[in-house]
Structure 1
Amino acid sequence: MSFTLRSVKVPPNSVNLEEARHRVFDFFRSACRSLPTVMEIYNLHDVATISQLRSAIATQFRKNSSVTNPKVIDMLLFKGMEELNNVVEHAKQRHHIIGQYVVGRQGLVQDLDTKDQGISNFLKNFYNSNYF
């Protein structure tokens, strides 16, 4: 299965919010359809499922759900297409995908709380002062 976005030209700006909205849904569908390919390229079967990656993509879309300017939506879609193209064309490494879409941006902060068991107060304070 081959999926490329290189042949896709940048469409003209959306005329109205409804057109931009349809483009967002189309892009979401294409991103979700590329997930099996991404799983194979980066060998992610041991760290995530397709549904977890789909949830991560949906989270990225929900972050910008309040945007109502069609030009801004088009710009966000272009950035999303670039990101998807980079992922599918293997321009990223496996640890980039895992860090960004599996663990999330708050991975290190979340891990600090669980790894503190059995560490002295001195080390806890030292780690807190250096990470925050």
Structure 2
Amino acid sequence: MASSVRGTARVLPNSASMEEARKRTFEFFKEACRALPSVMEIYNLHDVATISQLRSTISQEIRKNAHISNPKVIDMLLFKGMEELTNIVDHAKQRHHIIGQYVVGREGLVQDLGKKDEGSSDFLKKFYASNYF
């Protein structure tokens, strides 16, 4: 990636091949993992997550797009990922954004509804479920 997380992200030329896009993806993953200790400190996440859990979340987010075979699309996703990482490190997000997106995640919110909504109507159960997807 050749750019630091802090500051403005430099737009790199498009990847010439899938191998180059793959290499850039691994570099982005390493850079994101290197930023995790400072992210833990900035957002005071020690009580809700570990670095290992956040590293797994980053890995899952990257693997969601493993089926993509167009290097230009991969480059665009890497740019968006770097932009997100820069926003997080520059403290442009609030703690609850980080916890909701990367610690709890959408699946966690739905699973937490189990015991709490036992007395709720079917309408409310469907409403809650639809708002978490």
Structure 1 stretch displaced more, 35-44 or 5-14? 5-14
**How far is the alpha carbon of 1:7 from its aligned partner?**
4.7
**How far is the alpha carbon of 1:130 from its aligned partner?**
2.8
Structure 1 stretch displaced more, 21-30 or 106-115? 106-115
The Cα offsets for residues 106-132 of structure 1, whole Å up to 9 and x where unpaired, read as 33311111324xx43xx2434214324
SS in 1 for 2:86: helix
Which whole-Å CA distance do the structure 2 matches of 1:19 and 1:80 have between them? 17
Among candidates 117, 122, 129, match of residue 125 of structure 1: 122
Equivalence map 1:9-24=2 (5 Å): 9-24=10-25
Which whole-Å CA distance do the structure 2 matches of 1:108 and 1:29 have between them? 28
The Cα offsets for residues 66-114 of structure 1, whole Å up to 9 and x where unpaired, read as 1110000000000000000000000000000000000002333111113
Confirm or deny: 8 A CA contact 1:5 1:81 kept in the other structure. no
RMSD, aligned α-carbons: 1.5
Confirm or deny: 8 A CA contact 2:9 2:83 kept in the other structure. no
Which whole-Å CA distance do the structure 1 matches of 2:48 and 2:89 have between them? 18
What TM-score, normalized by structure 1, do the two folds share?
A: 0.88
How high is the sequence identity, in percent, across the aligned residues? 66
Gaps of 5+ in 1: none
Equivalence map 1:1-132=2 (5 Å): 4-116=5-117, 119-120=118-119, 123-131=120-128, 132=130
What TM-score, normalized by structure 2, do the two folds share?
A: 0.87
Q: Quick check: which has more Rg, 1 or 2?
A: 1
